[in-house]
Amino acid sequence: MIPINKPQIDEDERQEILNVLDEGILTSAAYSGGKRVQDFEKLLAEFLHVKHAIAVNSGTAALHASILAAGIRENDEVLIPSFTFVATANSVACTGAKPVFVDIEKDTYCMNPQDLQRKITDKTRAIIPVHLYGHPAKMDEILEFANKKSLMVIEDACQSLGSTYDGKQTGTIGQMGCFSMYASKVLTSGEGGAITTNSDEFAEKLRMIRNHGMVNGYDTRIVGFNMRLPEISAAIAKTQMKKIQSMLDKRATNANKLGQLLSDKIRDKNIVLPHENQRAKYNWYLYTMAFNESRDKVKKFLNEHGIGATVYYDPPVHQTPYYSKFHKGELEITEWASKSVLSLPVHPSVTGNDLDMMASTVEKAIKS
């Protein structure tokens, strides 16, 4: 089976982990984090061209901490897409605020700026666009609207490390950006996350929030939690940062080849392949196609032939048992996408032969 994603771990990561074990300092409750946490944060900030990077122990923690730092409170409303992993909504709900679901655009699977405007109320305090599958949301339109309404923009860039919009790295365009280093992500630490910001004020708050609100000893100054990234995880992330560009380049090479192979084989106008444009460049976290009503049959065929094709996300968040109680109304494109999309692997371990086999198998699946 060609897995949908595979961590790119080698001897460099193993040696860094052994170094942490030999030193015996597995984590740090210091305000600035442990040595390897600080090393990773510096490398990430330099890669993204942003002033601050604050490491935490998951992408969910990154979202939760950012919402707290933004001052979002009970009964506030936060605009988010429903077509995303549930962590985006959960992070809002955990603060007592209400996630308000916005429809997506068919070409990007990201937040629709026009529907965003329709969902605004007097209670709206923030917007969290999600750069799904590594596809950047239309940040210029979202920011323009947010600025007019004095709304905070927190980017959910958990799937988009290395993607750019108008030449800017996703996660650095709004007031804060949130990244995940889950095992399947472009860069991994097993579990882990990070928040980026150019604001000194937010950076200070975020470092306190990840450490029970403390700065020096037991001097809790604001509400916080244990969101610290352990040194073993930071050691992996730090090492991964040194090869991030080569991993991104390999993903792009694989995605471009697969796209060309599929374009040569598929003539069905109802099947939509992902395409970059001059403004949006993808990190190719996933290669996501839309098959409309044939999706489930194609997935089954591919899985039976050793390809880890996977559906993200069905059901969308607003149709899950918990959130369906709070959402009324239809999200047309979100619901279409949830029944149509299928993601294929293009991670660095995928070979040229794998790509040839995937394209041929997709062609057979459609014909069958």
Domains in the chain: ranges and CATH: 11-241 (3.40.640.10), 244-367 (3.90.1150.10)
pLDDT tens digits along 170-226:
999 999 999 999 999 999 999 999 999 999 999 999 999 999 999 999 999 999 999
Range 132-154 average pLDDT = 98
Distance of alpha carbon 103 from its chain centroid, rounded?
A: 18
pLDDT tens digits along 286-341:
999 999 889 999 999 999 999 999 999 999 999 999 999 888 888 999 999 999 99
In whole angstroms, give the CA distance from residue 332 to residue 316. Answer: 11
The C-alpha angle 13, 244, 110, rounded to 5 degrees, equals 125
* Per-residue confidence (pLDDT) for residue 326, from 0 to 100: 81
What's the one-letter identity of residue 98?
Answer: K
Of 273, 280, 271, residue with least CA distance to 131: 280
Of 327, 227, 339, 240, residue with least CA distance to 294: 339
CA-to-CA separations, 340 to 225, 255, 271, 346, in angstroms, rounded: 39, 20, 9, 19
Q: How confident is the model at residue 102 (pLDDT cuts 50, 70, 90)?
A: very high
Q: Is 273 exposed, middle or buried (0-12, 13-18, 19+ CB in 10 A)?
A: middle
Backbone angles phi, psi at 128, to 5 degrees: -120, 90
In whole angstroms, give the CA distance from residue 284 to residue 333. Answer: 22
> CB within 8 A of 46, min separation 6: which ones?
none
In whole angstroms, give the CA distance from residue 222 to residue 149. Answer: 27
Helix (H, G, I), strand (E, B) or coil at 320: coil
Q: How confident is the model at residue 96 (pLDDT cuts 50, 70, 90)?
A: very high
Q: Is the pLDDT of residue 360 over 90?
A: yes
pLDDT tens digits along 107-131:
999 999 999 999 999 999 999 999 9
Which residue is it, tokens 């150019």?
198
DSSP codes of every residue in 52-69? EEEEES-HHHHHHHHHHH
Helix (H, G, I), strand (E, B) or coil at 190: strand
